[in-house]
């Protein structure tokens, strides 16, 4: 796990050492173990390394191979041992035991198609001397970031936005992304960022930069595949297949030359990962597997009792942190700076504190449960798609079962059916809720994305694809990457192993939600290894922050920041916003405040 940096001078002049090293040193937290740069004729590649696999200096980057390839790489290829064995049969030799060298050899053998062989997470730039190009790639689901900016005289890229911001005369807000975030909660639904002229290479895409003529092309290399044979399996066979694949995914992600632990909220996903990882860990170690829980001070959001149950059941080395209101108050500026862009809610700070604790405990690698909800229909808003997939009688009976086994009231479930499936209903509600936004700015809202989302509810697999690749998972992965890497921690996510994702989506839809139970296939897969009150929980919380308590304490600060904001002054009718502020829900008030603080901390302008 590392951080990458790159500068290409379009005028064919050499890149100055000072310029690339400044850029590289901005991400020392991503790779505290070593840092180096490589210079080509008109470009430079930088790398900061966090040692995970092969702790020797021989595995440092940028790494060269066969005298014609050089790579800067961030991530882990979990199946590197299997790929290396295959390449050895084709007469490839290796001087390290790192996955980085495997990528280089795989590129030599397979060309750009090498990425289709990888099971893992990655963002890399690979210089091919003979073809005079730089091959860049980002993993299938975008676990690892890759940002770039194409300027008049330079093409630059890196793992974090701060590396690119210095190339801009002024940091200006991307107004459409801002409105999508504020109104609809969309953040990472396209290749834009909150900053104009700073883009991200989208997940499942390669970028090839031609150094001869300074042009580049971007091409998608992966789509989630559906296996019709799996779709036809009976329930028992589906459960068996999914359980086996989940174990395989977790086992792969335990490959490490440093200590591995896990995040444990007490929810189904993290409990499954913690329990399976602990059982696999015990096969090779006498030490208990480490888990970390963030406990909320608001009882309604406190899952620690469930985490304790799992910990006792699985004999975990359980560690609990209780982020206080004072912690939050003292770290608001820091967490916004770490995230670099506005984010969804204060709960991001709970995750931040978990990774802070991981660093204290020496857990350089942490497992987490991101992706379980998107792959197995775990959110309440997925019920409309499930109900619409039924016949008339099935819709009626499952409507009541869904309310009974989800914790959603019948009123809320009925509301979901209309709100998420009829885009015009959603738009009217959003217009009313955000009436304080000037019309010309509200019109920037990506209504096409709202329509695409509503249409996807008619087909569960399409809905899952959209949630995984555009609407839900991408911003969760961004939060996870920033929080973990700020503390020099590598986060690994078993539920989004691409083979497990394809299997989950291929499984018969009635096994994903059954009799109103979300993630039914996962519940059945782990019911023999988890306590019953964990497996068949109805409520869903996660690492939720005590938002009511925290935001109440900063209410005056929030209002003052919002009033001072040049951006919000431009896009809103300030008097109406002030009048309506107290009526807004907590998340909307947070978004407004987050925009204002982000603008202040990064000196972002609207024109």
Close Cβ partners of 145 (under 8 Å, ≥ 6 residues apart): 123, 138, 159, 160, 200, 478, 481
Provide the token pair at 341: 């862009």
> How far apart are the C-alpha atoms of 49 and 31, rounded to whole Å?
4
Strands 69-77 and 43-49: unpaired
Q: Is 422 helix (H, G, I), strand (E, B) or coil?
A: coil
Report the C-alpha dihedral over residues 413, 407, 427, 552, rounded to 10 degrees.
150
- CB 293, CB 265: distance < 8 Å: yes
* Cα distance between residue 336 and residue 333, in whole Å: 5
**Rounded CA separation 70/438 (Å):** 50
Give the residue carrying structure tokens 């916004």.
336
DSSP type of residue 416: H
**Length of the chain in terms of residues written:** 607
Task: Please identify which of the residues 2, 114, 136, 263 carries the catalytic annotation.
Answer: 2
> How many alpha carbons lie under 13 Å from residue 191 in its C-beta half-sphere?
17
How many Å apart are CA 529 and CA 124, to the nearest integer? 38
DSSP notation for 204-259: TEEEEEETTTTEEEEEE-------HHHHT--HHHHHHHHHHHHHHHHHHTT--SS-
Q: For residue 65, give both structure tokens.
A: 């191979």
| Cα 165 from Cα 160, distance rounded (Å) | 9
Q: Tell me how many degrees the CA angle 205-209-214 measures, rounded to the nearest 5.
A: 145
Which helix H or strand E contains 398, and what residues bound it?
Answer: helix 392-406
Task: Please say if 2 is a catalytic residue.
Answer: yes
Mind telling me the catalytic residues? 2
């Amino acid at each position: 796990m590392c951080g990458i940096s790159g500068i290409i001078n379009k005028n064919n002049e050499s890149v100055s050492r000072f310029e690339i090293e400044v850029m590289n040193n901005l991400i020392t937290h991503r790779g505290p173990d070593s840092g180096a740069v490589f210079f080509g004729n008109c470009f430079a590649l930088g790398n900061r390394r966090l040692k995970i696999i092969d702790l020797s200096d021989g595995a440092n980057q940028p790494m060269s191979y066969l005298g014609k390839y050089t790579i800067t790489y961030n991530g882990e290829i979990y199946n590197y041992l299997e790929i290396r064995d295959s390449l050895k049969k084709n007469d490839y030799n290796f001087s390290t035991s790192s996955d980085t060298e495997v990528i280089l050899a795989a590129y030599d053998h397979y060309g750009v198609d090498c990425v289709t062989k990888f099971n893992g997470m990655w963002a890399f730039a690979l210089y091919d001397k003979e073809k005079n190009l730089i091959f860049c790639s980002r993993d299938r689901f975008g676990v690892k970031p890759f940002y770039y900016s194409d300027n008049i005289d330079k093409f630059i890229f890196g793992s974090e936005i701060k590396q690119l911001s210095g190339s801009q005369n002024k940091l200006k807000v991307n107004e459409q992304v801002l409105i999508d975030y504020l109104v609809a909660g969309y953040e990472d639904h396209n290749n834009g960022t909150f900053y104009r002229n700073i883009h991200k290479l989208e997940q499942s895409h390669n970028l090839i930069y031609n150094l001869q003529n300074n042009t580049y092309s971007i091409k998608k290399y992966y789509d989630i595949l559906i296996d019709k044979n799996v779709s036809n399996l009976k329930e028992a066979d589906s459960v068996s297949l999914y359980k086996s694949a989940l174990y395989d995914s977790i086992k792969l992600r335990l490959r490490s030359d440093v200590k591995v632990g896990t995040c444990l909220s007490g929810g189904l996903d993290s409990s499954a990962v913690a329990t399976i990882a602990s059982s696999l860990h015990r096969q090779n170690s006498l030490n208990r597997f480490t888990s970390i829980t963030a406990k909320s001070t608001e009882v309604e959001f406190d899952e620690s009792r469930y985490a304790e149950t799992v910990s006792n059941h699985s004999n975990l080395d359980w560690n609990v942190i209780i982020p206080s209101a004072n912690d939050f108050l003292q770290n608001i500026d820091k967490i916004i700076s770490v995230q670099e862009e506005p984010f969804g809610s204060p709960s991001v700070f709970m995750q931040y504190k978990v990774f802070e604790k991981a660093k204290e405990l020496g857990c350089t690698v942490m497992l987490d449960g991101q992706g379980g909800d998107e792959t197995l229909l775990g959110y309440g808003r997925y019920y409309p798609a499930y109900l619409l997939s039924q016949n008339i009688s099935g819709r009626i009976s499952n409507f009541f079962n869904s309310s009974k086994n989800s914790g959603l009231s019948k009123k809320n479930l009925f509301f979901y059916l209309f709100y998420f499936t009829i885009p015009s209903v959603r738009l009217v509600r959003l217009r009313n809720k955000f009436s304080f936004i000037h019309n010309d700015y509200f019109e920037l809202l990506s209504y096409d994305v709202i329509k695409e989302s509503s249409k996807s509810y008619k087909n569960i697999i399409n809905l899952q694809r959209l949630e995984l690749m555009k609407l839900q998972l991408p911003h969760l992965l961004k939060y996870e990457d920033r929080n973990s890497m700020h503390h020099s921690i590598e986060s690994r996510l078993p539920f989004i192993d691409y083979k497990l994702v394809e299997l989950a989506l291929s499984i018969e839809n009635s096994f994903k939600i059954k009799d109103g139970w979300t993630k039914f296939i996962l519940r059945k897969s782990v019911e023999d290894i988890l306590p019953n009150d964990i497996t068949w929980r109805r409520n869903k919380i996660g690492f939720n922050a005590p938002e009511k308590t925290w935001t109440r304490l900063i209410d005056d600060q929030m209002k003052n920041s919002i009033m001072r904001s040049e951006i919000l002054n431009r896009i809103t009718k300030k008097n109406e916003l002030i009048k309506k502020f107290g009526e807004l829900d907590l998340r909307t008030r947070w978004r407004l405040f987050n925009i204002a603080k982000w603008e202040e901390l990064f000196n972002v302008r609207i024109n």
